[in-house]
Amino acid sequence: MASMPAPQPVHRRALVAEYIAESLRTLPAGSSFAVRVVYTADQPVDSLTPRRRLSHFHAENTLSRRVLAFVSQGGCLVAGLEVHEFTTLRIEAQGAQPPRTSTTVDCCIEKLDTSGELAGRMPMARALVAGYLRSLHRYSTALNIPSVGVHLFARAQPEYLFAKSKDNPGKRILGDLELVKWWQSALQFALEYSAKSICTAVANCIVPGSTMRESSWFFGKDCTLGAGSMNNNANGSCTERAQSVDWKWGLPYPLGARAHDCVLQFPDDPITRLLSEPHSSAWSVSGLLDMLSVSEECGSGHRTAYFMASLPLCPGISAQAGDIADSSTASQGHLSFEDYDRILVALFDHEMDFSSTASAYLSSNRLKDYLDSNFDIPLISAETTGPAITREPIQAATPYNLPTVNDLSTVIRKKRKIVS
């Protein structure tokens, strides 16, 4: 097949920040937030399946863009979200028939973090994720793309975006199991919010080293992930609105399929690192899961999880004017990858410190001054108007009842040192 054109750059406007602000406004009344979103222009990148077996009758091109969203309160940064988006155009020749084309959109949630400076307990991080997914869903709806892929590798870390915030007394750091349960709940809410509960999203989860029978330890005794609906309760749901998300255990790929042909590989991901090994070319999806469960990042006592969801095009939701920019203004206001990297350098500068309220305000102003002096990124305000929220805190499973995790550290012998 002759070389194919790359997908045309089609950008979203500043409505990314507006959708996030809209979601934040549903939080308990009485709080004020400001949203700022860094959004890059499209750039060609490698395929998400770089070693897929494609003949000359198939071709694909992928564009990527990066999103970095900040939420501040009273001038102090309280949360941040980093996402990488990928738009892939595939062309398949069918003999004498016209070539068949398809476009897919996938986002990989890279980092979500809080600084510990949020005034009052509220599900603000959850609302941030929900607002972003709403914006991505509306963008795909405007392009008539059948579904949006949402991907996430959940791994407990004391800090991701805000330096030294692990020492902030106001920050609640979740352990392995707590984080897995939090992300399942957060994605449940975000997927429902994005689709307005009109259509059903399909979501997959896998905890490497654990089986489907053990899923209740991660998601509650009354909620067991299965091949069909989220659980086997009489009403078929774990929550009042769970019918809008169909949860399944495992990766959304056939277990016997060659992993390189179907498993998406995102940057800085344990699956990507495993599949970069020379001996991985013949691995099936099942074999990949076996290797993942004993890998350095997912084995040896670690509790991590992969979440993958497909948010479909909902017939009851229509795109709004401005969800996408026309081709003549597609690149206006969008930064280059180099600009984006410079912002990350400023965020991770050695002088940034979120360990206390005083240092968090200084660091927030430092980043704000850098952004204001180098880029034109508007702030969107959000005044909360929602009802008060009461909920029980997330409880971890009883330690002595937890299912075992593959841990090879006790059977690996260190080589003796040879003393000359």
Please tell me the predicted confidence (pLDDT) of residue 399. Answer: 43
SS3 142: helix
What pLDDT digit, counting tens, does each position of 252-308 carry? 999 999 999 999 999 989 999 999 999 999 999 999 999 999 998 887 777 899 999
Please tell me the predicted confidence (pLDDT) of residue 419. Answer: 43
Identify whether the C-beta of residue 66 lies closer than 8 Å to the C-beta of residue 43. Answer: no
Please tell me the predicted confidence (pLDDT) of residue 98. Answer: 79
Residue ranges of alpha helices (H) inside 143-197 are 176-195
Please tell me the predicted confidence (pLDDT) of residue 379. Answer: 93
CA distance 88 to 42: 12
Identify whether the C-beta of residue 308 lies closer than 8 Å to the C-beta of residue 150. Answer: yes
How many Cα atoms occupy the beta-carbon half-sphere of 63 within 13 Å? 17
CA distance 109 to 82: 6
CA distance 74 to 81: 19
Please tell me the predicted confidence (pLDDT) of residue 128. Answer: 97
CA distance 81 to 350: 20
Give phi and psi for 351, each to the nearest 5. Answer: -85, -10
- For the chain, give every domain's residue range: 15-401
Q: What is the pTM of this model?
A: 0.85
CA distance 167 to 159: 10
CA distance 415 to 186: 45
**Pairing relationship of beta strands 58-73 and 76-94 according to DSSP bridges:** antiparallel
Angle at 136 between CA 133 and CA 138, to 5 degrees: 110
Identify whether the C-beta of residue 134 lies closer than 8 Å to the C-beta of residue 201. Answer: no
pLDDT under 50: residue ranges of the chain: 1-2, 228-242, 326-331, 396-420
| CA dihedral (108, 114, 115, 118) positive or negative | positive
Contacts of 368 (CB under 8 A, 6+ apart): 75
